[in-house]
């Protein structure tokens, strides 16, 4: 989670119900920033601590280790553990999910000896894009093929799985000497004398009420000469860091989108990458505020010979109809003839959900602070127009490693050269070009669409800054989007709980609650949370009143760490290390 100017939502200003009027019970700086290190004999000392074993964090680790391999003097100065990666999941990649069609250049730069054929043999890549199609879906039965708009041109890119890519990167990093601390949550950022000096790992073995169980293990301070926050867009420490160091000054508020994905084993191979840009199954009304799109990608597994398909739905969390559900919209989309002819006769083999930052260039926080940097989604580096973020994450990890290496050589904790490197790189240039492209959709599909096309066509040359506002300030109403959702049959259309089951979620039933929300809220807010969450975490009792305030039941052990709740009035904190999903090929 990374609100651009802090991670506590402001209150709405209207007379209607907005989630911001019911902020979560959390003091992010007070709870998640530790003001001094423990005594030397009680802490772990490393050279560089990287929080997050995903695409950006592991790219940073691998690039840094490449540089250190040629510099034994600095390696010795960094101690027994020159590079440590702190990852809360059971393994790196277990909480990672994306479409994903990746622009290959940054990964080729990171691993120059690895050919794209090797990527496929390693199991994280599934083929180069040579055919593509883009469709309008005006109704539930019709589809109109259109020439691919520039952001959707993917010829030469590679279909990948980011969870599998992270596992590969983990293996290479460990071979180079990285210390990978899986099943370890980074619960606090340690700040002394105005600089980040490390992180504290979370306790393990606490009960529902926070009590120490028989297997209790306290967390430890991890002291580092440099800290990298690569937590993804809902990073537990990123939000407090932004607030502590005022990294959101003069930036627009961050906004987010939510993606839900399924992987299917199909009878006939798909021969092209497909995107649809609506409007069906979404509403075109500005009042509803629904903006989204879909993907269908071929995944040929060269190791097994299986023909797989990645299908997903992404929705902007700006919407106002409380009954909007990304999971159920994906199920609805699957009823379209365009999709049914691809999936029918197949078998769903994976499911997952993840939020992504949608604010783009104007919402990116300052990327460095004394002793630390933000990378990848933590820094908001996603192009939601083109649905591209993986190559930006890899690129940011590489550039962060190079800036940190330079700083360490100079005995400095100033890594601000990283910001300049991002600005000059492919990442800065691409995000700047589309900096105003998503905002017009707030005016609705038909009014905003032509403006979006104008900004795409002019490639960022119009000198203007379009604003964002906080998504939790959007006033919610209970609409009728829910009326279009198909009923689950357990074979082609699936409910949320059966989907959570195949995610490999293994959260302890007696674990402490890691989700912060008010539990006595207006019905409109409760409905927003219940429909939005793809994992069925938020539940309204059957006997709750139809209007006014209701109690919200929080089934937090269902949580798959997607993070959508923070966009609409809640706060996701880190679970106990090892909890959450175990994604394999998402």
Q: How far is CA 117 from CA 122, 308, 398, 476, in A?
A: 9, 18, 22, 49
Q: How far is CA 572 from CA 357, 378, 568, in A?
A: 15, 14, 11
Answer yes or no: is 512 within a domain: no
Q: Are 161 and 586 in contact (CB under 8 A)?
A: yes
Residue 518, exposed/middle/buried by CB under 10 A (0-12, 13-18, 19+)?
middle
Per DSSP bridges, beta strands 571-572 and 515-516 are: antiparallel
The pTM for the full model equals: 0.95
Answer yes or no: is 150 within a domain: no
Answer yes or no: is 44 within a domain: yes
Give the pair of three-digit tokens for residue 452. Answer: 């979006």
Answer yes or no: is 492 within a domain: no
Q: Which of 156, 105, 164, 98 is nearest to 127 (CA)?
A: 156
Query: What is the rounded distance in angstroms from the CA atom of residue 12 to the CA atom of residue 22?
Result: 9
Answer yes or no: is 276 within a domain: no
The total of structural domains in the chain comes to: 1
Query: What is the rounded distance in angstroms from the CA atom of residue 204 to the CA atom of residue 560?
Result: 19
Compute the C-alpha angle 430/433/434, nearest 5°: 95
Answer yes or no: is 371 within a domain: yes
Answer yes or no: is 499 within a domain: no
**What pLDDT score does 506 carry?**
84
DSSP 363: G
pLDDT in tens, the chain (586 residues): 333 333 433 333 334 799 999 999 999 999 999 999 999 999 999 999 999 999 999 999 999 999 999 999 999 999 999 999 999 999 999 999 999 999 999 999 999 999 999 999 999 999 999 999 999 999 999 999 999 999 899 999 999 999 999 999 999 999 999 999 999 999 999 999 999 999 999 999 999 999 999 999 999 999 999 999 999 987 899 999 999 999 999 999 999 999 999 999 999 999 999 999 999 999 998 889 999 999 999 998 888 999 999 999 999 999 999 999 999 999 999 999 999 999 999 999 999 999 999 999 999 999 999 999 999 999 999 998 888 999 999 999 999 999 999 999 999 999 999 999 999 999 999 999 999 988 887 777 777 878 878 888 888 889 999 988 889 999 999 999 999 999 999 999 999 999 999 999 988 889 999 999 999 999 999 999 999 999 999 999 999 999 999 999 999 999 999 999 999 999 999 999 999 999 999 9
- Which CATH number goes with the domain that contains 236? 3.50.50.60
Query: What is the rounded distance in angstroms from the CA atom of residue 382 to the CA atom of residue 99?
Result: 13
Give the pair of three-digit tokens for residue 545. Answer: 């009143």
Answer yes or no: is 422 within a domain: yes
**What pLDDT score does 445 carry?**
74
**What pLDDT score does 3 carry?**
33
Instruction: Show the beta-strand stretches assigned E in 266-416.
Output: 273-279, 292-300, 307-316, 347-357, 368-369, 372-374
Q: Which residues contact 403 (CB under 8 A, 6 or more apart)?
A: 368, 373, 415, 416, 417, 418, 421
Range of the domain at 62: 40-93+168-204+217-253+361-435
Using DSSP, state whether 250 is helix, strand or coil: coil
């Amino acid at each position: 989670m990374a609100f651009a100017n802090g991670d506590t939502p402001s209150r709405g200003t209207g007379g209607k119900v907005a989630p911001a009027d019911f902020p979560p019970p959390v003091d992010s700086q007070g709870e998640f920033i530790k003001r001094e290190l423990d005594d030397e004999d009680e802490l772990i000392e490393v050279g560089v601590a990287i929080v997050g074993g995903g695409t950006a964090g592991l790219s940073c680790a691998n690039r840094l280790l490449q540089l250190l391999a040629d510099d034994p003097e600095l390696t010795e100065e960094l101690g027994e553990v020159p590079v440590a990666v702190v990852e809360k999941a059971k393994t790196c990649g277990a909480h990672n999910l994306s479409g994903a069609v990746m622009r290959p250049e940054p990964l080729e730069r990171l691993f120059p000896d690895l050919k794209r054929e090797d990527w496929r043999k390693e199991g994280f890549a599934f083929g180069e894009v040579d055919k593509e199609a883009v469709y309008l879906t005006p109704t539930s039965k019709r589809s109109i093929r259109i020439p691919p708009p520039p952001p959707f041109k993917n010829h030469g890119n590679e279909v990948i799985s980011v969870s599998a890519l992270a596992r590969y990167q983990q293996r290479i990093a460990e071979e180079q000497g990285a210390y990978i601390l899986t099943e370890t949550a980074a619960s606090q950022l340690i700040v002394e004398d105005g600089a980040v000096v490390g992180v504290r790992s979370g306790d393990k073995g606490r009960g529902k009420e926070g009590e120490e169980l028989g297997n209790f293990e306290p967390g430890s301070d991890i002291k580092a000469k440099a800290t990298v926050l690569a937590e993804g867009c809902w990073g537990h420490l990123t939000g407090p860091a932004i607030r502590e160091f005022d990294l959101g000054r003069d930036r627009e508020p961050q906004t987010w989108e939510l993606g839900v994905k399924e992987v299917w084993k199909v009878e006939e191979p798909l021969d092209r990458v497909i995107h649809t840009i609506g409007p069906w199954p979404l509403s075109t009304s500005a009042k509803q505020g629904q903006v989204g799109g879909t993907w269908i990608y071929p995944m040929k597994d060269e190791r097994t010979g299986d023909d797989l398909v990645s299908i997903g739905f992404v929705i902007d969390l700006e919407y106002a109809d409380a009954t909007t559900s990304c999971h159920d919209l994906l199920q609805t989309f699957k009823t379209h003839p365009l999709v049914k002819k691809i999936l029918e006769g197949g078998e769903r083999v994976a499911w997952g959900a993840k939020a992504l930052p949608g604010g783009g260039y104007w919402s990116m926080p300052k990327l460095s602070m004394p002793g630390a940097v933000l990378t990848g989604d933590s820094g908001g580096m996603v192009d939601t127009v083109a649905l591209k973020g993986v190559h930006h994450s890899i690129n940011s990890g590489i550039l962060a490693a190079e800036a940190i290496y330079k700083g360490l050589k100079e005995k400095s904790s100033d890594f601000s050269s990283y910001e300049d490197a991002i600005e000059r790189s492919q990442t800065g240039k691409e995000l700047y070009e589309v900096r105003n492209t998503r905002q017009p959709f707030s005016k609705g599909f038909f009014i905003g669409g032509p403006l979006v096309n104008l900004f795409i066509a002019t490639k960022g040359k119009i000198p203007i800054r379009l604003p964002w506002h906080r998504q939790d300030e959007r006033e919610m109403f209970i609409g009728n989007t829910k009326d279009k959702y198909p009923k689950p049959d357990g074979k082609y259309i699936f409910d949320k709980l059966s989907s959570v089951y195949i995610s490999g979620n293994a959260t302890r039933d007696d674990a402490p609650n890691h989700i912060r929300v008010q539990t006595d809220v207006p019905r409109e807010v409760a409905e927003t949370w219940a429909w939005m969450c793809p994992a069925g975490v938020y539940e309204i009792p059957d006997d709750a009143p139809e209007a006014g305030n209701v109690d919200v039941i929080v089934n937090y052990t269902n949580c798959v760490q997607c993070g959508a709740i923070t966009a609409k009035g809640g706060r996701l904190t880190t679970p106990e290390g090892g909890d959450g999903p175990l994604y394999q090929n998402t």
